[in-house]
């Protein structure tokens, strides 16, 4: 089956034992991408959030590494392939159960500033996992995601906005 990418939005409150639940759409896409139940998570390189993706992205990351090295060579810039490879491939592979439950390690929670819940935002090749407060601090380019997140939070607290 051809992997179609990640789209949509969802929210998961933190559960007992530090567990979160992958939304069904993301769970389905991860199963397609990973040929099983594997969630890869890494710190986003510039935003205060995490990125999630499936194992199929490994090939894409190798291609990205080659492309970045070629661009640096053409621009006569230094490029440390080993450091960049460590950044790109430094993700954590986490299993999730049939219900989408997974446990996020403390170091990832710290890196993503994750507290009481996760907001999921589809991004095509990957998706982002946000602390809603961190998402709220983003600029106007994020207005749609911020509105969706606020709506999910209100629903999870049983209040209408």
pLDDT tens for residues 79-123?
999 998 888 888 999 999 999 999 999 999 999 999 889 999 998
User: Residue 81's pLDDT is what?
Assistant: 92
pLDDT over threshold 70, residue 1: no
Query: Coil, strand or helix: which one is 93?
Result: strand
Answer for the pair 40, 93: CB distance below 8 angstroms, yes or no.
yes
User: Residue 15's pLDDT is what?
Assistant: 85
Closest CA to 103 of 6, 12, 8, 11: 12
pLDDT tens for residues 34-83?
778 899 999 998 999 999 999 888 888 889 999 999 999 999 999 999 99
CA 127 – CA 125 distance, rounded (Å): 7
Q: Encoding tokens for residue 137?
A: 């601090």
CA 69 – CA 61 distance, rounded (Å): 12
> What is the dihedral angle through the alpha carbons of 133, 114, 21, 43, rounded to the nearest 10 degrees?
110
DSSP 6: B
Q: What is the mean pLDDT of residues 26-41?
A: 88
Fold annotation for 9-55+93-156: Chemotaxis protein chec (3.40.1550)
pLDDT tens for residues 133-149?
999 999 999 999 999 99
Degrees to nearest 5, angle at CA 47 with 70 and 16: 125
Q: Which pLDDT band holds residue 9 (cuts at 50, 70, 90)?
A: very high
> What is the dihedral angle through the alpha carbons of 118, 120, 123, 125, rounded to the nearest 10 degrees?
80
In this prediction the pTM is 0.85
Q: Encoding tokens for residue 18?
A: 């530090």
Lowest mean pLDDT among 7-11, 15-19, 21-25, 59-63: 15-19
User: Residue 58's pLDDT is what?
Assistant: 82
Q: What phi and psi values does residue 75 have, to the nearest 5 degrees?
A: -90, 5
Q: What is the mean pLDDT of residues 5-22?
A: 89
pLDDT over threshold 60, residue 161: no
Cα distances (angstroms) measured from residue 126 to each of 27, 28, 73: 12, 13, 27
């Amino acid at each position: 089956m051809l992997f179609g990418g990640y789209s949509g939005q969802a929210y998961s409150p933190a559960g007992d034992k530090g567990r979160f639940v992958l939304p069904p759409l993301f769970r389905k896409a991860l199963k397609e991408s990973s040929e099983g139940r594997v969630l890869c998570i890494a710190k986003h390189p510039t935003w205060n959030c995490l990125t999630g993706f499936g194992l199929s992205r490994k090939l894409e990351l190798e291609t990205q590494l080659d492309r970045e090295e070629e661009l640096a060579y053409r621009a006569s810039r230094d490029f440390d392939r080993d450091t960049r490879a460590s950044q790109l491939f430094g993700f954590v592979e986490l299993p999730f159960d049939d219900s989408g439950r997974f446990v996020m390690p403390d170091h990832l929670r710290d890196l993503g500033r994750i507290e009481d819940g996760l907001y999921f935002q589809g991004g095509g090749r990957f998706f982002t996992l946000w602390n809603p407060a961190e998402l709220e601090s983003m600029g106007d380019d994020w207005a749609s995601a911020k509105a969706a997140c606020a709506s999910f939070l209100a629903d999870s607290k049983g209040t209408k906005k």
